[in-house]
Chains A and B, each alone.
Chain A
Amino acid sequence: MLPIVQHPAAAKEFVNDPNRSRWHDQALWFVRSKRDKQAASLPEWEYLRETASGIKTHTIANLAHYLQEFERNATARGAVVHWARDADHHNEIVLRILRDHKTKRIVKSKSMLTEECGLNHYLEDNGIDVVDTDLGERIVQLRGETPSHIVLPAIHIKKEEVGDTFHKHLGTDEGASDPKYLAEAARGHLRDKFLAGEIGITGVNFAIAETGGLVVCTNEGNADLGTSLPRVHIACMGIEKLLPRQRDLGVFTRLLARSATGQPITSYTSHFNGPRDENSELHIVLVDNGRSRLRESETFRAAMHCIRCGACMNTCPVYRRSGGHSYRATVPGPIGSVLSPTRDQNSYKSLPYACSLCGSCSDVCPVKIPLHHQLLAWRGELVGKKLLPLSKRLSMRCASYLFRFPALFRLVGKVGRFALRVLPRWATHNRLNVWTIARELPEPPKESFHQWHRRHRNH
C-alpha cells in the first residue's frame, strides 16, 4: 500500500521559502507566457483544440480497433509489439528483451511512462545501468531525485545546485553555474554514454494506427542519438497514445510544443516506421496500467486525451507555488491530481483538493480535458467513499443544516459578528483559526444586509 500524501504538508517547506516558490512561479509563468504568444499567433488555435479533442474522443472510444490496427501495421513493418497489463509486467518485458540481448548499458530518452512504471529502479536492481539522456532527467538522476515536471524535469533545481551536482559527478569546475558551460559538460559526458549504449529506450508521443509508425518529439536530439547508434530500440507507450491517421499529426504537432514550451514545434519530430534496417529490432511495449479502467469512467475518461504537454502545470497557481514534488506522484499538477487517485484513491485523496478551482488548466489544455471539473468530481467520489476526514465531513453537515434554517443562520451570524467585535484579538486571531495565520478576519458589521433591509425597505 502506498503512503498517504498530504499535499498541504508536502508543499509547506517549498511554498514558505520565497526564494524557492517565487523563483519557481516566475520560471513557469515565463513558460506559460511563451505559450500564450504562440497560441495567439494562430487564429485557428481554438479550432485546433476542438479538433484535437474530437480526434482523441473518437480514438479512445474506438480504442480496441485502433490498437489492433496499430499492432497489425507495426508488425508488418517489422516491429515486435508487446502488451503489458501493468507496470510490473512492462518492466518484466523490457528486462526480458535486455537479457535476450545480454545488455548491461541502456540509454534512455524521456518517457513519463517508464517513470510511472518505475523502470529505472527495477533495471538497476537487476544489474543494468540506465542512463537518462534528457539533460533535465540526467540532472535529477544524478541527484537521486525524480522529475518534478513532466516536460521540465529539473525546473525545481537552481543552476548553482546543478553546478554542485556536475562538479561531483562530471568533474566540472567547483562553483561553476553558467548554464552554457554546464550543458556543454553534459553534452560531452552523455556523448560517451550514447556511444557505449547497447539498447536505446524511448517514450512515444504519438503512435499511428494506419501506418504502425511512432512519433517521438525532442529538443535535445537524445531520442534520435539513442536509437540511431544501437541496433535495438525499445519504445514504451501507454495505450492512449494512439492516433488513427498520420494526417492527425498535423493537429497534434501544432499543439504540443506550443502548449508545452511555447515553441512552434520541437527541434526534432521523428517518425519511426519499423526497425532501422533488416539487422535491427524495434520493440513496442503497449502498457495498460489502469488505462482501460479509466476508460470505463464517463467522468474521467477524457483524462486519456492527455498528450503530456505540461501546460496545465505551468498555468496552475498551486503547482507553481508548491513545486512538483509536493504531489508525490509521477505526473504532478492538475492532470496528475486527476490521474493519481485513479491508481489509489486513499493515497492520493488530498490531491483533488490541492486546487482552487480557478479553471485555468481547462482553458489551457490543448485537448480540452475539463480538468477543474474532473477535480471537483473527484471530491464528490472521495466523500462518497468516506475518504475525506470526518471533521471536514461533519463541518459540512453542520453548514448544510445551518443553511437550511434561515432563522438559525441569522442567529448564528449575529452571535458570530457580535463575538468578533467584542472578543479580544488573541481569542480570534490564533493558530487554531487557520484563516488568521496569514490574514486578518473581516471587520464585522453591526447589522447584516437582512437586518438593514428590514429597517430600510420593509413593506
Chain B
Amino acid sequence: MTVALFVPCYIDQLYPDVAIATLELLERLGVDVAYPDGQTCCGQPMANTGCETDTAPVARRLVDLFADFEAVVCPSGSCVSMVRNHYAAYFDPEDAKFQHVTSKTYELCEYLHDVVGVTHLDVKFPHRVSLHQSCHGLRELRLGQSSESMTPRENKVRKLLNLVEGIEWVEPDRPDDCCGFGGTFAVNEADVSAEMGRARIADHCDKGSEVLASADMSCLMHLQGLIRREKNPIQVMHVAQILSGRPLGAA
C-alpha cells in the first residue's frame, strides 16, 4: 500500500522541515510513502473567500494527482478538512476519483492514530509543552473533543504526543479558543486576528510553556509572526517535528 504525502503550498515554500519531519516519521513507521510531483494547493484560500469558480480547477487537479494512491496523508488539518468536508461542492457526487480521494485523505495524526495504530515512538522531548488545537482539526475533523461539545472524544494529537518521552504538559486556560489565523481572515480582519493571536500566546506563556505545539502550521505561522514581533519567550513547533524527534527550536 503506497500512501501519497500531500504537502500544502505554504508548508512546501515556508516550512519545508515540517514536511521533511512528516516524511521521515512515516518512513520510520514503515509506511510506504510517495511524494507525487506537481502538487500545489488544496484550494482553500479561494474557497474560503467564496471564489468557487477559482477553486474548482485547483480541486480537480488535486483529486487527479492523488487518485491512484490508496491514501493521502497531509500534516495540516485545515487542508484535509477542505478535501474531506468541502470538496463535494466542486464534483459530481458520482465521480469515482473524487469519492476515493475525499474519503481517503487523512490528517497526519489521524492517520498515525487510526490507520497505523502507533503505540510506540522512540523519541524524547524534555520540555514544557502546551497544545494549540487548531479549529479545523478539532471541529471539522474531530481530532479531539471541542470544549463546547459534550460528545466525548479522545484527543488523537495529545495521545500521540504522550508517546514522546519527557514532555511536561502545560495547560492554557482556554483549551481551544481560535488563534485568529483563519486564512485570508488574518489579512481581512488584521486587527481582530492579531488580538486573537496575542491572547492565545499570553495564555500559553503565562502558564510557563516553552513550546506551543500544533498539528496545523498555518496557525503557527500567524502565532510565530506575533511572537517574533513581540519577542515573547515561547517557540512554536509542528507536532510532526516533535514526533520525529526534532530538538527544541526546529521551527
The CA-CA distance from A237 to B20 in the complex, in Å, is 59
Q: Which of B36-44, B107-115, B119-127, B241-249 contacts A (4 or more CB under 8 A)?
A: B36-44
The CA-CA distance from A409 to B222 in the complex, in Å, is 22
B91 to chain A, nearest CB (A): 15
Contact between B51 and A396, CB atoms less than 8 A apart: yes
A412 to chain B, nearest CB (A): 9
Of A42, A356, A362, A404, chain B has the most CB atoms within 10 Å of the CB of: A356
Could you tell me which residues of chain B, from 27 to 46, have a CB within 8 Å of some CB in chain A?
35, 37-41, 43, 45-46
Which of B37, B49, B191, B193 touches A379 (beta carbons < 8 Å)? B49
Contact between A356 and B149, CB atoms less than 8 A apart: no
What size tier do the contact residues of chain B reach? 35 or more
B167 to chain A, nearest CB (A): 25
Q: Which residues of A contact B57 (CB under 8 A)?
A: 400, 404
Cβ of B235 within 8 Å of any chain A Cβ, yes or no, is: no
A22 nearest CB neighbor, chain B only? B199
Cβ of B66 within 8 Å of any chain A Cβ, yes or no, is: no
C-beta contact mask, A322-334 vs B, less than 8 Å → 1, else 0? 1000000000000
C-beta contact mask, A358-385 vs B, less than 8 Å → 1, else 0? 1110111000000000001011111110
Which of A40, A382, A396 touches B150 (beta carbons < 8 Å)? A40
The CA-CA distance from A406 to B194 in the complex, in Å, is 32
Which of B7, B39, B54, B135 touches A360 (beta carbons < 8 Å)? B135
A176 to chain B, nearest CB (A): 32
Interface majority SS (helix, strand, loop, mixed), chain A: helix
Known: A8-B188, A15-B195. A356 touches B181 (CB 8 A): yes
Cβ of A7 within 8 Å of any chain B Cβ, yes or no, is: yes
The CA-CA distance from A444 to B10 in the complex, in Å, is 11
Cβ of A448 within 8 Å of any chain B Cβ, yes or no, is: yes
Contact between A360 and B139, CB atoms less than 8 A apart: yes
C-beta contact mask, B189-211 vs A, less than 8 Å → 1, else 0? 11111111101000000000000
B27 to chain A, nearest CB (A): 9
Cβ of B166 within 8 Å of any chain A Cβ, yes or no, is: no
Q: Which residues of A contact B222 (CB under 8 A)?
A: 439
Q: Which residues of A contact B46 (CB under 8 A)?
A: 396, 399-400
The CA-CA distance from A8 to B40 in the complex, in Å, is 30
Cβ of A344 within 8 Å of any chain B Cβ, yes or no, is: no
C-beta contact mask, B220-236 vs A, less than 8 Å → 1, else 0? 01101110110000000
Cβ of B148 within 8 Å of any chain A Cβ, yes or no, is: yes
Which B residues contact A (CB, under 8 angstroms)?
7, 9, 11-17, 19-20, 23, 35, 37-41, 43, 45-52, 54-55, 57-58, 61, 86, 89, 135-136, 138-140, 146-151, 174, 176-178, 180-183, 185-197, 199, 221-222, 224-226, 228-229
Return the 5 tightest CB-CB contacts between A and B, nearest first: A379-B50, A439-B225, A356-B182, A400-B54, A359-B139
